[in-house]
Homo-oligomer: A and B are copies of this chain.
Amino acid sequence: MPKYFMPTTLLSGKNCVKRHSRHLIHGKKCMIITGKHSAVVSGALADVTDVLKENNVEYELYDKITRESGISEIYALGQRMKTDGTEYIIGIGGGSTLDAAKAAAVYAANDIEPMRIYDEVYKNKPLKVVCVPTTAGTGSDTTQYVMLTLDDIHNKRSFSSPDCFPYATFLDSRYTRTLPLEVTRNTAIDALCHAVESYLNNQSSAFSDIVALEAIRLIGSCTDALVSGEFTEEDREKLLVAASAGGMAVAHTGLNVVHAMGHQLTCDKDIPHGRANGALLVEFIAWMAKQDIMRAVDVMSAFGSDLSSLKKFINAVIPTTEEITEDDIDKWLEKSIASTVTENCPGEFTKEDERFIYYNALINKRRKYTEW
């Protein structure tokens, strides 16, 4: 949609938590929400608590969020904050953690049943949320979207509200240094998918294009690092900015069919989110080239002279090793075409298009892209 709105204050650069500490202080008591690991080993949690102590902000730490954390856990957390005097929330971690913080902020401020969060109507503004990402991919730190796990890890559902943009986000690439290489790669490709799905999107606008294209270019400039697994601090900074810029882009356009289709790979074959989407990306761009060759070329040219360069890069960093059959594809077709994001796809996107993308991406892997 031709609308741009992104009210989150972004603080970036080395040591930004301490250098811009006033943006971390929004009351006398806060809840810090983290996963079990990255907030500690990255040093982010220590930086945050140092600032809170210096400023006499009382805090409580909830460090139990995992990919499996369900809506009932986050709801309970919200209920607890209603009575313990929590004024705002700091989320430190990857996408699951930041989304947990954003959802808990809604529950803490409203008397609603857990599932009513999806109605996207609640009386009171959520508590303020500050995000400190430790991965470079999710984009949750710059969007109004919140993805929650319902009964089990394979049943996720998102909601969206302009009130759910984080209040402030701190982007310090030092916090991504301790990420396992596989996570760095998967999340970088996830960020790339966000940017590409936003740029090749019915709802794109001049301003979403600016951030989407820059995210694509930034990741394009880090291909050598992502392949070799050796990152300079500048590479890490670029990937972190690209992830947030990718978030800013999809915040305005919504996602597209890559995420809808990739989700089936995650559900059925347990392929991690970023790798699942990345496996389908080149075929999506090739399909999009038939709708808008100029835009497809804009994306491609950040990675080389033809689409094969992008394919080669993705195969090098996140190869799909799982065995996929045509029967698998048949199972997935109905589910992903039913996703509302397919409406964001320029041109008519049919089940046969979907089959074509799945097939070429996952079975007919030797396909050449010299002509597309």
Contact = CB atoms under 8 A, between A and B. Distances in A.
- Of the listed residues A205, A210, A241, A245, the one surrounded by the most CB atoms of chain B closer than 10 A to its CB is A210
A252 to B, nearest CB: 10
Copies in the complex: 2
A13 interface: yes
Contacts of A4: 9-10, 12
A118 interface: no
Interface in A143-171: 171
A211 interface: yes
A214 B210 contact: yes
A237 interface: yes
Nearest to A1: B20
A10 B5 CA distance: 6
Nearest to A238: B206
A61 to B, nearest CB: 27
Contacts of A19: 2
Nearest to A237: B206
A6 B142 CA distance: 12
Nearest to A16: B2
B6 A6 contact: yes
A64 to B, nearest CB: 32
A5 B11 CA distance: 9
A241 B206 contact: yes
B11 A3 contact: yes
A3 to B, nearest CB: 5
Interface string A231-249: 0000001000100010000
Nearest to A23: B3
Contacts of A213: 214
Nearest to A20: B3
Nearest to A244: B207
Top 3 A-B residue pairs of the complex, sorted by shortest distance between their CB atoms: A4-B10, A2-B13, A7-B7
